[in-house]
Amino acid sequence: MPELIDYDRVAGRYQTGRGLSIKTLEAWRLAVAEFVPTRTSPSVLDLGAGTGIFTRAWNTWCDACVVAVEPSLGMRSEGSASGIPSGSAYVAGTGEFLPLKDSCVDIAWLSTVLHHFRDRDECARELGRVVVRGGVLLIRGLFSDAGQIGWLDSFPGADEVRTSMPSVVGTVALFEQYGFHQVGLREVIGGERETAGESAAWVRMMRTADTLLASFDAEQFRAGLANLEDLPADQPMTHSLALLALQRV
């Protein structure tokens, strides 16, 4: 999937649109808990950290020391303004070139970012370099074969957009080449935008700040939004993202 978003320009809107409720963050805390190493104050890499939503969450989940790696200056600036926990840091970098020493990360966290990497093979190599043996790689997101975005099916071309996302099977095979093996796959159901009305409002706001939405051309977007707004505003929307867990051996 090509890079479609100017994240420097939309950082403020991204922070608003991607913010997660306490209920949703708690669901993800429970989902990751079984895979988190038992050591005290683990080191966490939040790769593609955006505005630091999960950087802040990880610090409370397990008293972690978090390094947030994010290429966009606008996103880092917005995240810093929102507050970064003591002991954590924002640094410029990409998945293909991590500004970290070898074997320094207990947990690598990738939230809705895997599809952004220009060279996934090089990113997998880098993660294999920085994650310690016994450490974990946790990938949160929509895959072509796991997860469901409730509003997506309202849009013409939704199938093509979904199939452009990485698959679980392909992702596991990629990371196995660099010393990881799968230890879990969970689907976390629920979250923000639980009704058609809430989804429509979010879609209008995030048109140029969300990769899936930016994948649709103008005609597809207009038709999809109209389909969504034709639904009863209180109609429930099923929303889930997958959590793929891999361990470094």
- What DSSP string runs through the chain? ------HHHHHHHHHHHH---HHHHHHHHHHHHTTS--SSS-EEEEET-TTTHHHHHHHHHH--EEEEE-S-HHHHHHHHHH---TT-EEE--BTTB--S-TT-EEEEEEES-GGG-S-HHHHHHHHHHHEEEEEEEEEEE-BTTB-B-TTGGGSTTHHHHHHTSPPHHHHHHHHHTTTEEEEEEEEEE--S--BHHHHHHHHHHTTTT-HHHHTS-HHHHHHHHHHHHHS-TT-B---EEEEEEEEE-
Q: Mean pLDDT of all residues in the chain?
A: 92
Read off the tokens for 193.
């935008």
Inside any domain, residue 18: yes
Q: Rounded to an integer, what distance in angstroms lies between the CA atom of residue 123 and that of residue 69?
A: 13
Domain total in the chain: 1
Read off the tokens for 215.
């994948």
Going by C-beta distance under 8 Å and a sequence separation of 6 or more, which residues neighbour residue 197? 233, 234
| pLDDT over 70 at 112, yes or no | yes
Looking at per-residue confidence, does 8 or 231 come out higher?
231
Inside any domain, residue 62: yes
pLDDT of residue 162: 96
pLDDT band at 206 (very low <50, low <70, confident <90, very high): very high
Q: What is the CATH classification number for the domain harbouring 38? A: 3.40.50.150
| pLDDT over 50 at 2, yes or no | no
pLDDT of residue 4: 67
Inside any domain, residue 158: no
Inside any domain, residue 41: yes
Please state whether beta strands 240-248 and 131-141 pair in parallel, antiparallel, or not at all (unpaired). Answer: antiparallel
pLDDT of residue 15: 67
Segment 68-85 shows an average pLDDT of: 90
Phi and psi, residue 111, nearest 5°: -110, 115
Give 144-192 pLDDT, tens digit per residue.
999 999 999 999 999 999 999 999 999 999 999 999 999 999 999 977 7
Q: Rounded to an integer, what distance in angstroms lies between the CA atom of residue 93 and that of residue 114?
A: 15
Report CA Rg, the chain. Answer: 18
| pLDDT over 70 at 77, yes or no | yes
Inside any domain, residue 131: yes
Please state whether beta strands 131-141 and 89-91 pair in parallel, antiparallel, or not at all (unpaired). Answer: unpaired
pLDDT of residue 6: 80
Lowest mean pLDDT among 59-63, 166-170, 219-223, 241-245: 59-63
Give 4-42 pLDDT, tens digit per residue.
678 777 777 766 777 788 889 999 999 999 999 877 789
Inside any domain, residue 188: yes
pLDDT of residue 20: 85
- Helix 7-18 × helix 196-205 angle, to 10°: 160
Segment 54-63 shows an average pLDDT of: 92
Query: Residue 92 is part of which domain span?
Result: 7-150+166-193+238-248
Q: What is the pTM of this model?
A: 0.93
Read off the tokens for 36.
């988190």
Phi and psi, residue 16, nearest 5°: -70, -45
Inside any domain, residue 74: yes
Q: Residue with structure tokens 């996934």?
A: 120
| pLDDT over 70 at 45, yes or no | yes
Lowest mean pLDDT among 7-11, 48-52, 77-81: 7-11
CB 81 within 8 A of CB 110: no
Q: Rounded to an integer, what distance in angstroms lies between the CA atom of residue 2 and that of residue 87?
A: 34
Inside any domain, residue 212: no
